């Protein structure tokens, strides 16, 4: 900064008119020079403007979470800024993936999802791909914190948890997508649309691949020394589940998956396939569902009050073992008087009773995208709905309805008797014992 000298100062500088004009011209030219603004900030040259970017974080970034992270990083309008995982190795690996994508070191890593939700007010949405025990509570806490949620399946361990997610999304006006991605995959969409649109006639039977397991364990593994909290906070890992001593087998290789406190039975696959089957059926007049217990190793038949029989098929052995309804995993099938159609993972095209049903394959898909304005991409549907604020294809109501059926089947299996379930009230008819099984206690302080 130039100091102004007094008029009688011996150091005063005399400024000629020419010098004054020259300096003024230089200053004016400096003001006139435009600032350089990169195209990325303006949304030009293929870049997305900052105002149009969806700022995201991830909670639970191992296994399926790492796959989802990769899919979302591939979307041009997503900006990933934070990751959270109770396992240090996983959160650091995920952070490195994000930083490599953006060629910087800006991604923050958190060990506790509660801290991430409290501190990161900049997040528009979060991915939740924790173990199943955390899904409903993490989704609820995130939506209360003002985040939209993409949550992996199964979305809840109990009907009460599922209702909690539905009510939270509604109260806080949040967009929610559960990871039933086959609702957005072409072969499954085709099968669903063939049933929904009446191209098979009135569907009388639907099938869902539920891959029932031989029960879940209720015992505890022997105690082992807990790792340092920075490596793994065991209390946070357990979350809302009943406490038990640490054992590495729960954490490593998904060992938790075989224990009742951490998982579900029918909903393991049914969270996908039951949702797929229901999407092709008219549920407007469905109030009651009858669950028929047929024994510990038998497929369960359910009868909807609109006359449709929904078969919860018990896959034996490998999910890829051929069966009479489909080959592969996560299959659904619809039977009507005009034929049948089925789809499952690994299909080049759907299975049909007659090749003529496939003649309009592309038209059926085109009609679906035109009618629904949805992409055949589950992640993209979630991101588009964040911007439009409309319900996703696997919205909370879709999640809750399919999970209620899966969890009701679980309860029917445990009680080993036929049950009647009121789908609208989400309660069993005249069955106090069954109704008590619709919820589980949540361990403090990990409660909603």
Contact residues for 296 (Cβ-Cβ < 8 A; gap 6+)? 413, 416
Q: How high is the pLDDT of residue 296?
A: 78
Q: How high is the pLDDT of residue 9?
A: 44
Q: Which residue has the higher pLDDT, 370 or 8?
A: 370
Q: Is 128 helix (H, G, I), strand (E, B) or coil?
A: strand
The answer to whether residues 297 and 304 touch, using CB atoms and an 8 Å cutoff, is: no
pLDDT category at 236 given cuts 50, 70, 90 is: very high
* Spatial distance between the Cα atoms of 96 and 87, rounded to a whole number of angstroms: 14
* Spatial distance between the Cα atoms of 194 and 339, rounded to a whole number of angstroms: 10
Q: How high is the pLDDT of residue 2?
A: 44
Helices then strands, each counted (H, E), the chain: 15, 15
- DSSP-assigned letters across all residues of 352-394: ESSGGGGTTHHHHHHHHHHHH---S-HHHHHHHHHHH-PPPTT
Angle at which helix 159-172 crosses helix 396-415, to 10 degrees, equals 170
* Spatial distance between the Cα atoms of 137 and 139, rounded to a whole number of angstroms: 5
The encoded tokens of residue 195 equal: 């049933």
Radius of gyration of the chain (CA): 28
pTM for this predicted structure = 0.88
Q: How high is the pLDDT of residue 321?
A: 60
The encoded tokens of residue 95 equal: 């952070």
Encode burial over 253-263: b for 16+ CB neighbours within 10 A, e otherwise: eeebeebbbbb
Contact residues for 186 (Cβ-Cβ < 8 A; gap 6+)? 365, 376
Mean pLDDT of 383-406: 97
Say what percent of the chain tops pLDDT 90. Answer: 78
Please name the helix (run of DSSP H) or strand (run of DSSP E) that holds residue 166, with its range, or none.
helix 159-172
15 CB neighbour count, 10 Å cutoff: 9
Q: How high is the pLDDT of residue 4?
A: 43
Q: Which residue has the higher pLDDT, 368 or 62?
A: 368
CATH numbers and ranges of domains, the chain: 41-178 (3.40.50.720), 181-215+264-436 (3.30.360.10)
Q: How high is the pLDDT of residue 317?
A: 55
Angle at which helix 159-172 crosses helix 135-144, to 10 degrees, equals 20
Q: How high is the pLDDT of residue 24?
A: 52
Per-residue pLDDT tens for 312-349? 988 655 555 667 888 888 999 999 999 999 999 988 99
**Is the pLDDT reported for residue 31 higher than 50?**
no
Q: What is the mean pLDDT of the chain?
A: 90
Q: How high is the pLDDT of residue 322?
A: 61
pLDDT category at 47 given cuts 50, 70, 90 is: low
Q: How high is the pLDDT of residue 319?
A: 53
Mean pLDDT of 120-149: 98
CA distances from 387 to 47, 49, 125, 399 (A): 17, 14, 11, 21
* Spatial distance between the Cα atoms of 138 and 129, rounded to a whole number of angstroms: 10
**Is the pLDDT reported for residue 244 higher than 80?**
yes
**Is the pLDDT reported for residue 34 higher than 80?**
no
Q: How high is the pLDDT of residue 15?
A: 54
**Is the pLDDT reported for residue 37 higher than 80?**
no
For the ranges 161-175, 207-221, 270-284, the lowest mean pLDDT is seen at 207-221
Q: Parallel, antiparallel, or unpaired: how do β-strands 351-352 and 339-343 relate?
A: antiparallel
CA distances from 203 to 187, 197, 277 (A): 18, 10, 11
For the ranges 20-24, 75-79, 185-189, 353-357, the lowest mean pLDDT is seen at 20-24
């Amino acid at each position: 900064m130039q100091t102004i000298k007094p008029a009688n100062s011996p150091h005063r500088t005399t400024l000629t008119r020419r010098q004054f004009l020259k300096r003024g011209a230089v200053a004016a030219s400096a003001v006139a020079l435009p600032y350089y603004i990169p195209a990325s900030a303006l949304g030009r040259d293929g870049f997305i403007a900052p105002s149009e970017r969806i700022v995201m974080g991830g909670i639970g970034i191992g296994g399926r979470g790492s796959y989802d992270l990769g899919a979302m990083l591939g979307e041009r309008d997503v900006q990933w800024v934070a990751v959270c995982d109770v396992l240090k190795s996983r959160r650091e690996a995920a952070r490195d993936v994000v930083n490599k994508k953006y060629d910087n070191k800006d991604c923050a890593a958190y060990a506790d999802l509660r801290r991430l939700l409290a501190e990161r007010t900049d997040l528009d949405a979060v991915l939740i791909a924790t173990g199943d025990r955390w899904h409903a509570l993490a989704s609820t806490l995130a939506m209360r914190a003002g985040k939209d949620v993409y949550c992996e399946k199964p979305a809840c361990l109990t009907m009460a948890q599922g209702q909690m997610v539905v009510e939270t999304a509604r109260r806080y006006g949040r967009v929610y997508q559960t990871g039933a991605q086959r609702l957005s995959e072409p072969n499954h969409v085709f099968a669903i649309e063939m049933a929904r649109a009446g191209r098979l006639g009135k569907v009388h039977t639907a099938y869902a691949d539920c891959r029932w397991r031989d029960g879940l364990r209720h015992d505890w593994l022997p105690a082992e020394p807990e790792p340092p909290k920075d490596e793994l906070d065991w209390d946070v890992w357990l979350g809302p589940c009943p406490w038990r001593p640490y054992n590495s087998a729960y954490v490593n290789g998904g060992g938790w998956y075989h224990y009742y406190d951490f998982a579900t039975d029918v909903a393991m696959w049914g969270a996908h396939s039951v949702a797929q089957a229901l999407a092709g059926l008219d549920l407007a007049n469905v109030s009651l569902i009858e669950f028929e217990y047929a024994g510990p190793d038998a497929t369960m038949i359910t009868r909807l009050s609109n006359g449709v029989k929904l078969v919860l098929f018990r896959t034996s052995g490998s999910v890829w073992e051929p069966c009479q309804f489909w080959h592969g995993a996560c299959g659904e099938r619809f039977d009507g008087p005009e034929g049948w159609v089925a789809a499952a993972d690994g299909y080049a095209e759907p299975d049909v009773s007659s090749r003529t049903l496939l003649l309009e394959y592309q038209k059926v898909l085109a009609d679906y995208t035109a009618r629904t304005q949805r992409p055949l991409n589950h992640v993209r549907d979630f991101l588009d709905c964040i911007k439009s604020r409309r319900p996703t294809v696997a919205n909370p109501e879709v999640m809750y309805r399919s999970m209620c059926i899966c969890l009701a089947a679980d309860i029917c299996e445990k009680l080993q008797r036929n049950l009647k379930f009121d789908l609208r009230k989400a309660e069993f008819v005249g069955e106090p014992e069954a109704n008590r099984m619709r919820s589980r206690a949540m361990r403090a302080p990990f409660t909603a």
